[in-house]
Amino acid sequence: MSNRYLGLLVLIASLLPHPLWAAGLQAAPGLAWAAPFAGLLLSIAVLPLLAPQFWHHRMGLVALLWVAALLGPLSVQAGVAGAAAQAWHAVLIEYLPFVMLLLALFTVGGGILLEGGPWGTPAGNTALLAIGTLLAGVMGTTGVAMVLIHPLLRANAHRRQRVHLVVFFILLCANAGGITSPLGDPPLYVGFLRGVPFFWPLSHLLLPLALVALPLLAVFFAADTILSRRDPNPLRHPLRLSGAINLALIACVVGIVLMQGLWHPGQTSVLGQSIDTERLVGILALALVTATSLAVTPRRIRDANLFAWGPMAEVGKLFAAIFITILPVEAMLHAGAAGPLAGLLALTTDTAGNPEPLAYFWLAGSLAAVLDNAPTYLVFFQLAGDDAQKLTAGSGHVLRALSAGSVFFGGLTYIGNAPNLLVRSIAAHRGIRMPGFFTYLAIAAALLLPIFAALSVILL
């Protein structure tokens, strides 16, 4: 039932194209407008613990109710057409490009079967996490997460304790590793679109990655060694790859993402909402990649990966609501000194009015952990002057701090970066009892915050 209602809401929104947010609601909405977004996050955090069966069967309905909690009052203030236009704007401009990229990589990753190899032991698992961390800068965090989460979990199916495997996988492969290129993580892609040179992250952020990844890998190896002592030794099989055609499809996905940053033919109107043509082409191309993967991948490969649509459906529902309810929060950030978050944003400058790198790292990072990290990066990029040439000049301390915060802090919560919640859902569908929202936050904070503190002293 919730799926039908959510689809109906999107359909109604799409049929009522009208002026956007600023035309119906003040440019700097009050803090009360953030309540639906906060309520949605609280539901994601609490309901799986207090009412797991209800949440599992009705998460779409809960998400829809929080969307209604925003669009209802907005309809009163801006009119039904204005509120519907906001929903359609979020769906077309933000949600569809996001979810189609996620769907394509989820489908393609589930069509790659990596069997055998040294995984399943502490040394092998550590090596796989290190490989995934390095590959994330090339394939993107979502791409590498969807390809490697299956062999990691399959190789460790004999283990009694597996939660730590998923937690460290999220921190390293699904987040930190993406810091070395614009293809790795959405915030850096935003920087690339604003004029940051393509190879700037690799030359300036490789050392921060090492300072984060090496301690995490060392802690993981120690923890995995201790937790595996009473487990049987894994069976050894030669390394074998099946579904190699999907590797070519991943290359296609990378090309589609890069195309959207280099090709700008203008805009196209879709039911009254303008969208960059390259983004619309990207959505259609990603749909084609998804269909191609489904058509060419043998069923046995997906069966061996325990491939199921449940995790993708869960993430799709929740992020549809997130992208709509987050609209007023993004408006508050973009309002800058004129908005209710002015006092918070003022912390990014020193007494002389110059950008303060440490503030950019911690403040942008903290917000990126609970908001969409790409818009957060854009807001702080604009606060720092919106001039890529100046921000990349010399050591680029401010941009390095902003980039590191936006990417590294994404691992703090399940919603900090696109693949986090998807990896969690895949693990849960494989029978792993993943920690709840706050428990995961506590674990991730215990692992990451000391490293971030050291990074602040050493590098920023």
> pLDDT per residue over 86-144, tens digit each?
899 999 988 998 889 889 999 999 999 988 888 899 999 999 999 999 999 988 898 89
CA–CA gap between residue 189 and residue 192 (Å, rounded): 5
In sequence order, the β-bridge partners of residue 267 are: 276
pLDDT at 383: 86
pLDDT-wise least confident of 77-86, 197-206, 425-434: 77-86
Q: DSSP characters for 364-427?
A: IHHHHTTS-HHHHHHHHHHHTTS-HHHHTSTT-HHHHHHHHHHHHGGGGSTTSSHHHHHHHHHH
Mean pLDDT of 173-193: 91
DSSP letter at 231? S
Task: State the CB neighbour count (10 A cutoff) for residue 247.
Answer: 15
Residue appearing with tokens 């990378």:
254
CA–CA gap between residue 24 and residue 328 (Å, rounded): 12
Mean pLDDT of 299-303: 93
Contact 329, 31 (CB under 8 A): no
Q: What percent of the chain has pLDDT over 70?
A: 94
Q: Over 50: is that where the pLDDT of 297 sits?
A: yes
Give, in order, the Cα–Cα distances in Å from 237 to each of 103, 116, 230, 244.
Answer: 31, 4, 21, 19
Task: Look at strands 113-115 and 240-242 and give their pairing.
Answer: antiparallel
CA–CA gap between residue 18 and residue 85 (Å, rounded): 5
Mean pLDDT of 55-61: 92
Name the band, by pLDDT with cuts 50, 70 and 90, for residue 427.
Answer: very high
pLDDT at 7: 46
CA–CA gap between residue 106 and residue 100 (Å, rounded): 10
Contact 11, 321 (CB under 8 A): no
CA–CA gap between residue 398 and residue 358 (Å, rounded): 8
Q: Is 114 helix (H, G, I), strand (E, B) or coil?
A: strand
Contact 293, 108 (CB under 8 A): yes
Mean pLDDT of 196-218: 95
Contact 167, 440 (CB under 8 A): yes
Q: Over 50: is that where the pLDDT of 17 sits?
A: no
Q: DSSP characters for 428-458?
A: HHTT-----HHHHHHHHHHHHHHHHHHHHHH
For residues 49-83, one letter each, b for 16 or more C-beta atoms within 10 angstroms of the residue's C-beta and e for the rest, the string is eeeeeebeebbbebbbbbbbbbbebbbeebbebbb
CA–CA gap between residue 289 and residue 434 (Å, rounded): 31
Q: Over 80: is that where the pLDDT of 395 sits?
A: no
Residue appearing with tokens 């290129």:
181
Mean pLDDT of 203-210: 95
Q: Over 80: is that where the pLDDT of 460 sits?
A: no
Residue 5 backbone zone (phi > 0: left; psi -120 to 50: alpha; other: beta): alpha
Q: Over 90: is that where the pLDDT of 69 sits?
A: yes
pLDDT at 27: 56
Q: What is the pLDDT of residues 39-55, one digit of tens each?
A: 998 999 899 888 989 99
Q: What is the pLDDT of residues 355-394, one digit of tens each?
A: 899 999 999 999 999 887 888 898 889 888 888 999 998 7
Q: Over 70: is that where the pLDDT of 64 sits?
A: yes
Q: Over 50: is that where the pLDDT of 10 sits?
A: no
Mean pLDDT of 435-458: 95
Q: Over 80: is that where the pLDDT of 228 sits?
A: yes
For residue 380, give the nearest of 438, 333, 424, 432 by alpha carbon. 333
CA–CA gap between residue 280 and residue 283 (Å, rounded): 5
- What one-letter code names the amino acid at 172? L
Q: What is the mean pLDDT of the chain?
A: 88
CA–CA gap between residue 131 and residue 137 (Å, rounded): 11
Q: What is the pLDDT of residues 238-263, one digit of tens each?
A: 888 899 999 999 999 989 988 988 89
Locate 117 and state its tokens: 């190899």
Mean pLDDT of 150-160: 91
pLDDT at 453: 96
pLDDT at 405: 95
Contact 372, 325 (CB under 8 A): no
Locate 430 and state its tokens: 């494989």
pLDDT at 230: 86
Quick one: angle between helices 186-193 and 200-227, nearest 10?
Answer: 180
Q: What is the pLDDT of residues 410-426, one digit of tens each?
A: 999 998 888 999 999 99
Q: Over 60: is that where the pLDDT of 213 sits?
A: yes
Task: State the CB neighbour count (10 A cutoff) for residue 266.
Answer: 8
pLDDT at 16: 34
pLDDT at 348: 85
